[in-house]
Amino acid sequence: MTTAIYPGSFDPITNGHLDIIKRASSIFEKVILGIYDIPQKSLLFSVKERVDLARQAVTDYKNVEVTSYSGITVEFARKAKAQVLVRGLRASSDFEREFEMALMNKKLAPDIELVCFMANLRYQFLSSSLLKEIIQLGGNLDDMVPPQVSAALKKKLLS
């Protein structure tokens, strides 16, 4: 059985992330969405909120679990007995950082393989940070996030 970890901050989860989850869950027997507990950046949602929003968004996928973790991603992968790390690549923004992280992860854990999914054309320019700006400017997030995520963003940023 191949288990994959899809790690990230998911602050909050978007339809771009969900597209990767859907595709990964059709290839791997089990996909664990790993939400960083202590990321090196300031986040809008607490880890509990990020986990709750992600769990609500993946209920249709029976082989997808959501859990938070702290520390080194490859250690989390080892503990979960995962063989694969999944990441998503958008055209202009992600490659260099992902490449750097992939090389470091390979050094730390040569036994764990990275599988990158090219972002869907529809979601190439979708990022969690852009969503926050759109909400603050009164824009509509339909097609970008599940309804409960849109509601949570409005509550957090507009009330």
**Binding-site member from 28, 74, 128, 141 for ligand ADP (CB under 6 A):** 128
78-105 in b/e form (b: 16+ CB < 10 A) is bebebbbbbbbbbeeebeeebeeeeeeb
Choose the stretch contacting ligand ADP; rule: CB under 6 A; options: 11-19, 60-68, 104-112, 130-138: 11-19
- Written as six digits, the tokens of 119 are 């972002």
Look up 90 and say whether it is catalytic.
yes
Name the minimum Å distance from CB 153 to ligand ADP.
14
- Written as six digits, the tokens of 140 are 């509509």
**Binding-site member from 20, 47, 66, 74 for ligand ADP (CB under 6 A):** 20
**Binding-site member from 54, 66, 84, 126 for ligand ADP (CB under 6 A):** 126
Residues between 58 and 117 that touch ligand ADP (CB under 6 A): 87-88, 90, 94
Could you give the strand order of the β-sheet that contains 3-8, starting from the edge strand earlier in sequence?
A: 64-69, 30-36, 3-8, 84-89, 113-118
**Binding-site member from 8, 24, 82, 145 for ligand ADP (CB under 6 A):** 8
- Written as six digits, the tokens of 85 are 């790390």
Q: Which of 62, 58, 48, 73 lies closest to 17, judged by CA?
A: 58
Look up 22 and say whether it is catalytic.
no
Active site residues: 17, 41, 90, 128
